[in-house]
Amino acid sequence: MIEVGCCGFPKAKKEYYTHFGVVEVQQTFYHPPRVETCEKWRAQAPLGFEFALKAWQLMTHAPSSPTYRRLRMEIEKPNRYGFFRPTDEVLVAWEKTKEIARALEAHIVLFQRPISFPPTKEHIADMHAFFQAIERDGLLFAWEPRGEWEEEQIEGLCQELDLTHGVDLFQHPPVYGEIAYFRLYGIGGYRYHYTDEDLGRLVHWCREYEEGYCLFNNMTMFEDALRMKEVIGE
């Protein structure tokens, strides 16, 4: 099974639902929408439509990240947020993310690691403490490391913490996971438009897995995702 969709809604939700069966919600990363809003999205989506979501940045990114400009709350103690620190503030952010996941009836939560999170002993220890402290409630966790991490470090942490390696397949194959979870940023950058040859290769790679998600996150994500579905059909 290969599920194809986008990171976020590049079109109106009603139109998006007619073409795809999955979306990775991005608003939950910057500042989670209200639970009532998520329940409305769930009610409006077709039966069987799947929501994945990106975990709130308060858990993964430090307040120095430019993404915090879209956060609709004040941060009083910056050193207690981000980088998987097992602080009360970070654990509260997880509870909020889990509440949103429940409202959307989501199955997958993606944790994106910022580039400014190198594999130090402190960071690895904080990851262990965080993931061992939280309740998953049946959710599957995907982790997208970026930057200096070695393949052995990624594989080891994914095994120890039961994480699926989220990755752009054109940059690196996944090293561990219950499923394949691919986030496609464009070869060389956001403006890249995937060719038919690219999509054919992608489908070939995906068919090595029993279950896979391909979520486009480039400028032409909607069009490229549609074309990939055509390639799968062929």
Neighbours of 91 (CB within 10 A): 14
What's the average model confidence in pLDDT over 34-50? 97
What's the average model confidence in pLDDT over 101-116? 95
Amino acid at 41: W
Highest average pLDDT, of 23-37, 169-183, 197-211, comes from: 23-37
N- to C-terminal Cα separation, the chain: 15
E-strand spans in 79-207?
108-112, 140-144, 164-167, 180-184
Domains and CATH numbers, the chain: 2-233 (3.20.20.410)
Q: Between these two residues, 209 and 127, which has the higher pLDDT value?
A: 127
- 222: Cβ–Cβ under 8 A, 6 or more apart, which residues? 6, 10, 11, 16, 216
Percent of the chain clearing pLDDT 70 (strictly above): 100
Q: What is the C-alpha to C-alpha distance for residues 149 and 158, in angstroms, rounded to an integer?
A: 12
Amino acid at 48: G
Q: What is the C-alpha to C-alpha distance for residues 217 and 234, in angstroms, rounded to an integer?
A: 23
Neighbours of 22 (CB within 10 A): 19
Residue 127: Cβ-neighbour burial (10 angstroms; 0-12, 13-18, 19+)? buried
pLDDT beyond 80 at 234: no
Q: Which two tokens stand for residue 95?
A: 């509870």
Q: Give CA 180 to chain center in angstroms.
A: 12
Q: What is the C-alpha to C-alpha distance for residues 63 and 109, in angstroms, rounded to an integer?
A: 21
